[in-house]
Amino acid sequence: MESDLLKKLAEKSISKEQLFNKVKQNNDLIPLLLKGVSSSKPAVRYGCSKVLMGLSEAEPERLYPFMDFFISLLDSNYRILTWNAIIIIANLTRVDKEKKFDKIFEKYYSLLDNEYMVTVANVVDCSGKIALAKPYLTSPIVEKLLRVETIPTTPHLSQECKRVIAGHAIEAFDHFFPQIEQKEKVFSFVRKHLKSPRKTLRIESEDFLKKWGSAV
């Protein structure tokens, strides 16, 4: 039987914010939330996942013992759980003393080939955070991000989606550019988008090149 808290979440008589505050005060509730992620009820499943995502940002050390659970969610049949897991795992890299992320690096970045734009975008968005947490992975992360312009289009990932993702990649590079060794490769990537039909991508490219000292 589900606990009263999960029932309240299903009935929407407790908000995700209220549940988050309860979990922050009580470590014993974490296993309950992990159980809730497997619930057949969407409100419970996604509510628990969202609270866990918030906790991973605020206090990653409390969720690190359960990192393997979140790694398993990368293969979830529920896309939202996969999206949340991508973010949670990135947050946990800050406290990843056992280098668990390193072991799943290729699996994590294989999601750049996913057919859904949000999946790809989440991996790209989280890359800056991962590179800052694990500077020794900077070069392989850069090489993965430089590939986004060559990913295939799908019914859920159009050319325009790829332009959006390119913009996300430029934002990610901006977060950790000082530690990038392949700076000229990154500049080359950015310059390709100076004449993009997407206005925001053009602006992002121009701003990046001006900020980091490469002629536009």
**Residues 112-167: tens digit of each pLDDT:** 999 999 999 999 999 999 999 999 999 999 999 999 989 999 999 999 999 999 99
d(CA 74, CA 35): 16
Q: What does pTM read for this prediction?
A: 0.95
| Angle, alpha carbons 183-174-141 (nearest 5°) | 65
Strand (E) or helix (H) holding 129: helix 117-133
CA distance 91 to 66: 13
* pLDDT the model gives residue 215: 56
Average pLDDT, the chain: 95
Give the CA radius of gyration of the chain. 19
Q: Which pLDDT value is given to residue 216?
A: 52
Query: Residue type at 16?
Result: K
Nearest Cα neighbor of 35 from 69, 74, 63 is: 69
CB 192 within 8 A of CB 149: yes
pLDDT of 3: 76
Query: Does residue 18 surpass a pLDDT of 90?
Result: yes
| Gap between the Cα atoms of 198 and 26, Å rounded | 47
Predicted confidence (pLDDT) at residue 36 exceeds the cutoff of 60:
yes
Question: Is the CB of residue 141 less than 8 Å from the CB of residue 186?
Answer: no
Residue 187 scores a pLDDT above 80: yes
Q: Which of 167, 124, 121 is nearest to 145 (CA)?
A: 124
Average pLDDT over residues 165-191: 97
pLDDT at 67 over 90: yes
Asked if residue 108 has pLDDT above 80, the reply is yes
Letter string b/e over residues 171-180, b meaning 16 or more CB atoms within 10 A of that residue's CB: ebbbebbeeb
Residues 6+ apart with CB under 8 A from 100: 67, 68, 71
Per-residue b/e over 132-146, b at no fewer than 16 CB within 10 Å? ebbeebbeebbebbb
Measured torsion, CA atoms of residues 182, 188, 192, 193, in degrees rounded to the nearest 10: 50
List, in sequence order, every residue forming a beta bridge with 157; answer none if it has no partner: 154
Q: Is 70 exceeded by the pLDDT of residue 2? A: no
Q: Which of 116, 39, 42, 110 is nearest to 74 (CA)?
A: 110
Backbone angles phi, psi at 154, to 5 degrees: -140, 175
Band (1; pLDDT cuts 50, 70, 90): very low
Asked whether the predicted pLDDT for residue 214 surpasses 80, the reply is no
